[in-house]
Amino acid sequence: MRSNTVSILATGLTGGLACLAACLWPLTPGNASDHFEAPLVQADPAMDITDLYLFGGSAGKTVAVINYAGLNQSLTQPTQSGTYSDQALYTLHIDNTGDDVEDLQVHVRFGRDSGGNWGVQVTGLPGSDGPLSGPVEQVLTDGSGNMLFAGRRDDPFFFDAQGYLDTLSSGDLMIRNDRDFLAGMNCTSIVLEFDTAAALQGGSALGCWATSGRLQ
Amino acid sequence: MKQATIRMNMKHAALATLALVSLAGCGGGGNGDGDDGFAFSTASASQYVQIDSHAMPEAGTALIEAANGLGGTALRDSYNSMSPTQRGSSFNAEIGASLELFHTALDDDLTGLGLSPATPQLALSQGAPLVVPEVMRYNPAQPASFPNGRALSDRVVDITLAVVLLDLTAQGQGVTTFADLPLNPAGNDKAFLPAFPYLAAPHDS
């Protein structure tokens, strides 16, 4: 039933979707992130943010997921380890007054111990008294119930990028709902769960964006 | 390649010191007291150069690159280096041109399917609030459902396509017109976890 509907769409949208592919979601296999990115970002997977998610966690908590080091020309998929850099700073910017200027910054950094093991640290997590840190690939919790995880995960983004490519080359709409270009691929994820009221600071909504920075 | 080698060496080093760590009794970690032996940079945020910025799904890809065709450009690097307020309206022409390209090509096809495309003006008024400024808005009093925040399972590509292509005020069509089909895959290849950290385990091969 559904694929019939898609076929009908496919028949009708032929030429237009070729442009859609070219113009809107330009992707090529092995060279895509955001999932297609600019030169500075492609060169450094640790800097390459692919997605931001924002949703409710356990009672009174908000979850923010920052994914990076996903589909990137400098990585082979599926990745076999997380991508960590002690030269990187990841920031979740939070506006809680509706003026699109950040009121809070949550900072995430990676560092190693004397044995060379990677650890992760978050500072400024709303509702936390101080920094929360520990090994990567583990769920870390502080006394307030805030949580932190950093590690390699399945890339949760789904999209028929191949359909766009085929559309481009053939001139026919070939977007399919049974083909997920990101299936089988990983990313490195930073998952934060924090106190919603502490993030809102009396406001009614959050405005968020994520950035990556490299130490000068 | 070089990074992978370094990580491999670290792993060996880690194994070698595992016994020592256990003896010292600090192998548990994760209590967040900062006393876990990891060395984190104490450089202030201002000492980092912003390389990438991201809020809305594929926003930069779709609307900043569109008028330039395929490929990342210096313009995109510039976009990524700025905060929402720094960008202000300076990318509006770029975004408008992308939407116009899009509608010039697609409107007759949408009409042929019995759908009502948005006029260029309407496409801008429907789409621009999502990306100018590029901030992900989330009212926690409402369930997360893109564009109110973004849940892991949200069909964001299909929703975004509808917002920029369709007249959302027209009878029988709305933000979920494409997602209801769906046009792209309905969901992720792996089931999400019901609890923290929510994301599915990685693929190992």
For A97, residues 6+ apart whose C-beta sits below 8 A from its C-beta are A103, A203
**Alpha-carbon torsion (B98, B101, B103, B105), positive or negative:** negative
Contact map slice: B 36-75 vs A, CB within 8 A: 36-41, 43, 45, 47-55, 57-58, 60-62, 65-67, 69-74
Out of A122-131, A136-145, B34-43, least confident range = B34-43
Q: Do the beta carbons of residue B162 and residue B174 sit within 8 Å?
A: yes
Task: Say if strands A49-56 and A61-68 run parallel, antiparallel, or are unpaired.
Answer: antiparallel
Euclidean distance between CA atoms A152 and B3, whole angstroms:
16
Angle, helices B92-112/B156-165, rounded to nearest 10 degrees = 90
- B23 CA to chain A: closest CA distance, Å? 14
When pLDDT is cut at 50, 70 and 90, the band that residue B87 belongs to is: very high
ipTM > 0.90? Answer: no
| DSSP letter, residue B11 | H
Is the pLDDT confidence value at B104 over 80?
Answer: no
Interchain contact A188–B (C-beta under 8 A): no
| DSSP letter, residue A20 | H
**Predicted pLDDT at B22:** 32
Average pLDDT score over residue span A35-53: 84
- When the pLDDT of each residue in chain B is averaged and rounded to a whole number, the result is 80
Out of A40-54, A113-127, B91-105, B167-181, least confident range = B91-105
Average pLDDT score over residue span B102-112: 77
Question: Residue B50 and residue A138: Cβ atoms within 8 Å?
Answer: no
Max mean pLDDT range (A5-19, A167-181, B38-52, B54-68): B38-52
Contact map slice: A 77-116 vs B, CB within 8 A: 78-81, 83, 86-87, 89, 91, 93, 95, 100-102, 105, 107, 109-116
Euclidean distance between CA atoms A107 and A120, whole angstroms:
10
Closest CB to B203 among A91, A184, A209: A184
Is the pLDDT confidence value at A20 over 50?
Answer: no
Of B163, B153, B150, B144, the closest CA to residue B190 belongs to B153
Question: HSE-up of B88 (CA within 13 Å, CB side)?
Answer: 2
Average pLDDT score over residue span B140-164: 95
Report the run of H or E that residue A212 belongs to, with start and end: strand A206-215
**Predicted pLDDT at B64:** 74
Q: Do the beta carbons of residue A73 and residue A160 sit within 8 Å?
A: no
**Predicted pLDDT at B83:** 95
Interchain contact B85–A (C-beta under 8 A): yes
Report the run of H or E that residue B108 belongs to, with start and end: helix B92-112
Is the pLDDT confidence value at B71 over 60?
Answer: no
Interchain contact A142–B (C-beta under 8 A): yes
- When the pLDDT of each residue in chain A is averaged and rounded to a whole number, the result is 83
Higher pLDDT, A56 or A28: A56
Q: Do the beta carbons of residue B184 and residue B157 sit within 8 Å?
A: yes
Average pLDDT score over residue span B160-168: 91
Euclidean distance between CA atoms A128 and A142, whole angstroms:
7
Average pLDDT score over residue span B17-44: 57
Euclidean distance between CA atoms B80 and B76, whole angstroms:
6
Out of A8-22, B72-86, B169-183, least confident range = A8-22
When pLDDT is cut at 50, 70 and 90, the band that residue B66 belongs to is: low
Is the pLDDT confidence value at A4 over 80?
Answer: no
Question: Residue A153 and residue B38: Cβ atoms within 8 Å?
Answer: no
**Predicted pLDDT at A169:** 60
Name the residue type at position A53: Y
Is the pLDDT confidence value at A13 over 90?
Answer: no
User: Peptide bond before B147: cis, by omega within 30 degrees of 0?
Assistant: yes
Is the pLDDT confidence value at A9 over 60?
Answer: no
**Predicted pLDDT at A208:** 98
Out of A170-179, A186-195, B53-62, least confident range = A170-179
Interchain contact A140–B (C-beta under 8 A): yes
Is the pLDDT confidence value at B140 over 90?
Answer: yes
Euclidean distance between CA atoms A119 and A134, whole angstroms:
5
Question: Residue A189 and residue B144: Cβ atoms within 8 Å?
Answer: no
Tokens of A118: 């990677």
Interchain contact B171–A (C-beta under 8 A): no
Average pLDDT score over residue span A168-196: 86
Q: Do the beta carbons of residue B160 and residue B196 sit within 8 Å?
A: no
Euclidean distance between CA atoms B58 and B80, whole angstroms:
12
Is the pLDDT confidence value at B34 over 60?
Answer: no
- b/e per residue A57-79 (b: at least 16 CB within 10 A): beeebbbbbbbbbbbbebbebbb
**Predicted pLDDT at B63:** 76
Q: Where are the domains of chain A?
A: 37-157+182-214
Is the pLDDT confidence value at B100 over 60?
Answer: yes
Question: Residue B184 and residue A163: Cβ atoms within 8 Å?
Answer: yes
Instruction: Give the number of beta-carbon pairs within 8 Å between A and B.
Output: 369
**Predicted pLDDT at B152:** 98
Q: Cα Rg for chain B, rounded, in angstroms?
A: 23
Is the pLDDT confidence value at B24 over 90?
Answer: no
Higher pLDDT, B185 or B74: B185
Higher pLDDT, B21 or B84: B84
Is the pLDDT confidence value at B198 over 50?
Answer: yes
When pLDDT is cut at 50, 70 and 90, the band that residue A144 belongs to is: very high
